[in-house]
Chain A
């Protein structure tokens, strides 16, 4: 199907009242979750995932993707007005967004972020629309070695450009995800694996309770610590037409920066593995590097709001592209959404475009409409959204815990899953304090089975030798990139040491 008729089909899907309602609910929930610092978009998607079993998949994907966009917008509000990151991908907005708000330009800072986001979203959506089909068709020719190489690249990305966490800890979390995923019945022989003779473990670890625990509950416990440190201050903001006009003018003056940040963010998103969070930091770096007066950064430079937000939003959209076309998520949030596809009985990958065009194009259509809804709500209702921060922690915590329990239980109607949430929450809290990254574990857990089956089929094709991975025209270069990414931390360490020696000499 060509992109234009695909998009027509997509919009006809989005504007069905049933689907539109769930898209709207998704965006609103995303905004709320985005504003709340204790709960991130990834855990929000995971908590809601079990409930999507009870609605149509087309509406479900729109709701979950809508939640992603909502959280991308909502995090901005908390970062700029409260000086604490509402989401990991908005953390960088604190550097310049909050100083702007302090200087009485909160309205401008917020609106500029929203306008940048919308602009980036529009460009990325167009890229998505026109790249999806060619990429899917290209991927149709992929065999197990290519798929394994892409999976390996996803994990290498975490190790190579992880978000400031030790590469060793990232490796531990990736393998822990694989091992958790391996528990249960072996996918080829059907033998029980790593179950230690128990029946409970035969079904394996579902990724939903693990995700809710590692992200949701662990985040709640970390924010419990912050309760001990006292209250946060809020800067009030009301957005008007004046701000919108000023923001559009600011954006217009730096259009090239915005385009560059968008394209870079989209690329980071499409690359399997990490997503919006590193993209936002890279967007900030880009803006500072090419600024004529980089000394203003950290004191309220509007580019420091614009570029990271554009990059983050573009990365969010980009991360869904390999998810639907290849079955390899571009970000942790996309990984959780992809797990949803499996739950609804769909197999992400090139064939999805032929089998369920209504589903895929409905998602594409909702990218456009969902962003418009998010933008409109932010412009109209920022004071209302900021008021969510006034809901006391003591009321919010039990509510979030109960919704998490509900999500975990609803998957299999089993209390074991509820305990998994709790245990992974406590373990996740400790791991988070020690800077073990949670996202690689989740991605490894979701991708564990596909990675392993690609690995085993590759070995069978190569008669036991992995050399086949390097000799095929597509998987060879991909393996090269993956190995380079794995070695990046080592290369970096050697370079820093050499530089230090040069300085000493």
Chain B
């Protein structure tokens, strides 16, 4: 299987910047990018920025296209797998945040990730993860008085 090469991605990202720039150029023009009652209108600065971004993006694409078909793979397969294995649990943790609250997610995420990804002994890891979450609770909730997302059980069964 041929993996994504850096050149493909270079073109893709360059084109994405051009696309974003086009949308923002339109927005800036709608806002007005000329001279108004209070001097330059709000759209002027974004318009200039978007124009520079779009033209630079085009040039990046042109350079990547000129470089020819040879290109190193963006990342080795094993490396990409590793990145996905780290990125997905991160996303799951954020998704669970509004339901389980910061401290429960912290203990679960640390415990499960170290057990699964690091293949560490689960009872040791969980002992540590819970200890860290408890220390974090006392430090942030009581010490710094930071308001963090609470679990659905907050106020009924749990203090966090």
Contacts and interface: CB of A to CB of B under 8 A. Distances in A.
Q: Do A and B come from one complex?
A: yes
Given A179-B24, A422-B94, A429-B83, A394 B114 contact: yes
A434 B98 CA distance: 34
Given A394-B120, A415-B97, A224 B42 contact: no
Contacts of B9: 430, 433-434
A169 interface: yes
B50 A175 contact: yes
B53 A392 contact: no
Interface in B49-94: 49-50, 52-53, 56-57, 59-60, 63, 74-76, 78-79, 81-83, 85-87, 89-91, 93-94
A225 B75 contact: yes
Contacts of A398: 89, 93, 106, 109-110, 113-114
A168 interface: yes
A189 B9 CA distance: 39
A224 B91 CA distance: 15
B53 A194 contact: no
A221 B105 CA distance: 20
B3 interface: no
Contact of B82 (A179, A193, A227, A464): A227
A395 interface: yes
A459 B39 contact: yes
B160 to A, nearest CB: 13
Contacts of A178: 45-46, 49
B52 A175 contact: yes
B145 A54 contact: yes
Q: Is the interface on chain B under 10, 10 to 19, 20 to 34, or 35 or more residues?
A: 35 or more
A409 B97 CA distance: 11
Interface in B95-117: 97-98, 102, 105-106, 109-110, 113-114, 117
A173 to B, nearest CB: 9
A171 B51 CA distance: 11
Interface stretch (A29-37, A70-78, A399-407): A399-407
Contacts, number: 172
A191 B41 CA distance: 10
B75 to A, nearest CB: 6
- Among A217, A397, A425, the most chain B Cβ lie within 10 Å of the Cβ of A397
Nearest to B118: A394
Given A171-B53, A194-B24, A419-B94, A392 B118 contact: yes
Contacts of A426: 87
Contact of B60 (A168, A188, A430, A452): A168
A20 interface: no
Nearest to A182: B46
A193 B87 contact: no
A496 interface: no
A50 B27 CA distance: 32
Contacts of B138: none
B144 interface: yes
Given A175-B49, A430-B13, A194 B27 contact: yes
Contacts of B76: 228
B121 to A, nearest CB: 12
A189 B42 contact: yes
Nearest to A194: B27
Interface of A: 50-51, 54, 166, 168-169, 171-172, 175-176, 178-179, 182, 186, 188-189, 191, 193-194, 196, 217, 220-221, 224-225, 227-229, 392-395, 397-399, 401-402, 405-406, 409-410, 413, 415, 418-419, 422, 425-426, 429-431, 433-434, 436, 452, 455-457, 459-460, 464
23 contacts: A171-B52, A175-B56, A178-B49, A179-B50, A182-B45, A193-B42, A194-B24, A225-B82, A392-B114, A395-B114, A398-B109, A401-B109, A405-B102, A406-B102, A410-B148, A415-B97, A418-B94, A418-B97, A425-B90, A430-B13, A434-B10, A452-B45, A455-B40
Given A172-B17, A395-B110, 20 more contacts: A54-B144, A168-B56, A168-B63, A178-B49, A191-B31, A221-B83, A224-B82, A224-B85, A225-B75, A225-B83, A228-B79, A229-B79, A392-B114, A394-B117, A397-B113, A397-B117, A419-B94, A425-B90, A433-B9, A455-B45
Interface of B: 6, 9-10, 13, 17, 24, 27-28, 31, 35, 38-40, 42-46, 49-50, 52-53, 56-57, 59-60, 63, 74-76, 78-79, 81-83, 85-87, 89-91, 93-94, 97-98, 102, 105-106, 109-110, 113-114, 117-120, 125, 128, 132, 136, 140, 144-149
